[in-house]
Amino acid sequence: MVCGLIDLNTVNDDDTDEVSTSSSSSNASGSITVPASAPPPVSVGSGSDSTPVVCCLELWHACAGPLISLPKKGNAVVYCPQGHLEQLQSSGDCPTSGDCNLPPHVFCCVLDVKLHAEAGTDDVYAQVSLIQDPQLEQKWREGGRKVESAEDDNGVTEKSTTPHMFCKTLTASDTSTHGGFSVPRRAAEDCFPPLDYKQPRPSQELIAKDLHGTEWKFRHIYRGQPRRHLLTTGWSAFVNKKKLVCGDAVLFLRGDDGVLRLGIRRATQAKVASSLPTFCSLQMNDFANVVNSISRRTVFNVYYNPRGGSSECIVPYNRFQKSLSITFSPGMRFKMRLETEDSGDQRSTGTVSGVSDIDPARWPGSKWRCLTVRWDNVEVPRQNRVSPWEIERLGPVSEIGSFVSPISKRTRTGFPVLKDRTTLDLGESIRFHKVLQGQEIYGFYPSNNMRNQTSVGFGESLRFNRVLQGQEITSNGNLWSQPSRAFSSSSPSSVLRFPQAIGRVPDGYPVHYVDNVKAFNDQSRRVFVSPMKKLPEEPVSTAKNSCRLFGFSLTEGMEASRCPNEDLVHAKGPLGSCTNERVYPWCRSNDGCVQGL
Amino acid sequence: MVCGLIDLNTVNDDDTDEVSTSSSSSNASGSITVPASAPPPVSVGSGSDSTPVVCCLELWHACAGPLISLPKKGNAVVYCPQGHLEQLQSSGDCPTSGDCNLPPHVFCCVLDVKLHAEAGTDDVYAQVSLIQDPQLEQKWREGGRKVESAEDDNGVTEKSTTPHMFCKTLTASDTSTHGGFSVPRRAAEDCFPPLDYKQPRPSQELIAKDLHGTEWKFRHIYRGQPRRHLLTTGWSAFVNKKKLVCGDAVLFLRGDDGVLRLGIRRATQAKVASSLPTFCSLQMNDFANVVNSISRRTVFNVYYNPRGGSSECIVPYNRFQKSLSITFSPGMRFKMRLETEDSGDQRSTGTVSGVSDIDPARWPGSKWRCLTVRWDNVEVPRQNRVSPWEIERLGPVSEIGSFVSPISKRTRTGFPVLKDRTTLDLGESIRFHKVLQGQEIYGFYPSNNMRNQTSVGFGESLRFNRVLQGQEITSNGNLWSQPSRAFSSSSPSSVLRFPQAIGRVPDGYPVHYVDNVKAFNDQSRRVFVSPMKKLPEEPVSTAKNSCRLFGFSLTEGMEASRCPNEDLVHAKGPLGSCTNERVYPWCRSNDGCVQGL
DNA sequence: TTGTTGGCTAGGTGCCGACAA
DNA sequence: TTGTCGGCACCTAGCCAACAA
Residue B203 has pLDDT above 90, yes or no: yes
- Give residue-wise pLDDT tens across range B431-442: 222 222 222 111
SS3 A175: helix
Average pLDDT of chain B to the nearest whole number: 58
SS3 A561: strand
At residue A297, the pLDDT reads: 85
Q: What is the CA angle A285-A290-A293, rounded to 5?
A: 125
Closest CA to A79 of A108, A101, A54: A108
Q: What CA–CA distance (Å, rounded) separates B498 from B490?
A: 8
- Which nucleotide, over all strands, has the C1' atom closest to the CA of B240? C13
Closest CA to A27 of A66, A72, A75: A72
Residues whose CB falls within 8 Å of the CB of residue A334, separated by 6 or more in sequence, listed in order = A349, A350, A351, A352, A373, A391, A392, A393, A394
CA A63 to chain centroid:
12
Q: What CA–CA distance (Å, rounded) separates A255 from A61?
A: 13
Å between A475 CA and D5 C1'? 37
Bigger pLDDT: B73 vs A289 = B73
Measured CA to CA in angstroms, residue A508 lies from A381, A537, B369 at distances of: 31, 10, 68
At residue B123, the pLDDT reads: 86
Closest residue, chain A, to B241 (C-alpha): A493
Residues whose CB falls within 8 Å of the CB of residue B334, separated by 6 or more in sequence, listed in order = B349, B350, B351, B352, B373, B391, B392, B393, B394
Closest residue, chain A, to B275 (C-alpha): A275
In this prediction the pTM is 0.56
- Interval B464-474 mean pLDDT: 24
Within 7 Å of a protein beta carbon, the nucleotides of strand C are 1-7, 12-21
Kindly report which listed range (A33-42, A326-335, B204-213, B278-287) carries the lowest average pLDDT score. A33-42
Is B453 within 8 Å of B479 (Cβ atoms)?
A: no
SS3 B135: helix
DSSP state of A534: B
- Interval B317-344 mean pLDDT: 76
Dihedral angle at the C-alpha atoms of A314, A160, A57, A65, nearest 10 degrees? 60
Report if CB A481 to strand C is under 7 Å.
yes
Closest residue, chain A, to B493 (C-alpha): A241
Q: What CA–CA distance (Å, rounded) separates A63 from A125?
A: 10
- Interval B196-217 mean pLDDT: 93
How is B264-290 classified by DSSP, letter by letter?
A: EE-SS-------SPPHHHHHHHHHHHH
Q: Could you check whether the bond before residue A193 is cis, i.e. omega within 30 degrees of 0?
A: no
Å between B225 CA and C19 C1'? 10
Closest residue, chain A, to B278 (C-alpha): A275
* Helix, strand, coil fractions of chain B, as percent rounded to 5: 15, 20, 60
Q: What CA–CA distance (Å, rounded) separates B92 from B271?
A: 10
Q: What CA–CA distance (Å, rounded) separates A216 from A235?
A: 9
CB-CB under 8 Å, A276 with B276? no
At residue A324, the pLDDT reads: 85
Q: What CA–CA distance (Å, rounded) separates A186 from A99?
A: 55
Give the range with max mean pLDDT: A26-40, A310-324, B193-207, B552-566: B193-207
Report if CB A468 to strand D is under 7 Å.
no
Closest CA to B170 of B239, B98, B105: B239
Residues whose CB falls within 8 Å of the CB of residue B159, separated by 6 or more in sequence, listed in order = B1
Residues whose CB falls within 8 Å of the CB of residue A99, separated by 6 or more in sequence, listed in order = A362
- Give residue-wise pLDDT tens across range B479-515: 122 122 222 222 222 222 222 222 222 222 222 222 2
Is the ipTM higher than 0.95? The answer is no
Residue B34 has pLDDT above 70, yes or no: no
At residue B224, the pLDDT reads: 93
Report if CB A470 to strand D is under 7 Å.
no
Q: Which residue is nearest to nucleotide D12 (CA to C1')?
A: A177
Q: What CA–CA distance (Å, rounded) separates B20 from B116?
A: 20
Per-residue pLDDT of chain A (597 residues; tens, 9 = 90+): 334 455 555 433 333 333 333 333 333 333 333 444 433 333 333 334 445 666 678 888 888 877 677 888 888 999 988 888 877 776 654 555 556 678 889 999 999 888 888 888 888 888 888 999 988 888 888 876 777 765 544 433 444 556 788 999 999 999 999 989 999 999 999 999 999 999 989 999 999 999 998 999 999 999 998 999 999 999 999 999 999 988 999 999 998 888 999 999 988 655 444 444 455 556 666 677 788 788 888 888 888 777 665 557 888 888 888 888 888 888 888 888 665 444 444 567 888 988 888 888 888 888 888 889 888 877 766 778 888 888 888 765 444 433 333 332 332 222 222 222 222 222 222 222 222 222 211 111 112 222 222 222 222 122 222 222 222 222 222 112 212 222 222 222 222 222 222 222 222 222 222 222 222 222 222 222 222 222 222 222 222 211 222 222 222 222 222 222 222 222 222 222 111 111 222 322 222 222 111
At residue A174, the pLDDT reads: 95
Long-range contacts, A327-331 (Cβ 8 Å, 24+) = A328/A352, A328/A355, A328/A371, A328/A388, A329/A355, A329/A397, A330/A354, A330/A355, A331/A397, A331/A398, A331/A399, A331/A400, A331/A403
In this structure, the strands spanning B5-7 and B164-169 are: parallel
> Could you tell me the pLDDT band of residue B295, with boundaries at 50, 70 and 90?
confident
Q: What CA–CA distance (Å, rounded) separates B78 from B149?
A: 14
Q: What CA–CA distance (Å, rounded) separates B399 from B422?
A: 21
Measured CA to CA in angstroms, residue A392 lies from A328, A338, A343, B480 at distances of: 11, 12, 18, 76
How is B371-398 classified by DSSP, letter by letter?
A: EEEEES-TTS---SEE-GGGEEE-SSPP
Measured CA to CA in angstroms, residue B430 lies from B268, B434, B437, B507 at distances of: 35, 6, 10, 40
* Residues of chain B positioned with their CB less than 8 A from the CB of A275: 274-276
**CB-facing half-sphere around the CA of A167: CA atoms within 13 A:** 28
Residue B243 has pLDDT above 70, yes or no: yes
Q: What CA–CA distance (Å, rounded) separates A239 from B389?
A: 58
At residue B580, the pLDDT reads: 16
Kindly report which listed range (A403-412, A554-563, B204-213, B230-239) carries the lowest average pLDDT score. A554-563
- Which nucleotide, over all strands, has the C1' atom closest to the CA of B224? C17
Report if CB A180 to strand D is under 7 Å.
yes
Q: What CA–CA distance (Å, rounded) separates A21 from A12?
A: 20
At residue A378, the pLDDT reads: 73
Q: What CA–CA distance (Å, rounded) separates A76 from A146?
A: 10
Report if CB A182 to strand C is under 7 Å.
yes
> Could you tell me the pLDDT band of residue B409, with boundaries at 50, 70 and 90?
very low
Q: What CA–CA distance (Å, rounded) separates B233 from B237?
A: 8
Report if CB B224 to strand C is under 7 Å.
yes
Helix (H) or strand (E) holding A222: strand A215-223
* Integer Rg of chain B from CA: 25
- Interval B360-367 mean pLDDT: 83
Bigger pLDDT: B20 vs A98 = A98
Window 478-507 of chain B: CB closer than 7 A to strand D: 478-482, 484-485
Q: Which residue is nearest to nucleotide C5 (CA to C1')?
A: A479
Report if CB A178 to strand D is under 7 Å.
yes
Å between B196 CA and C17 C1'? 20
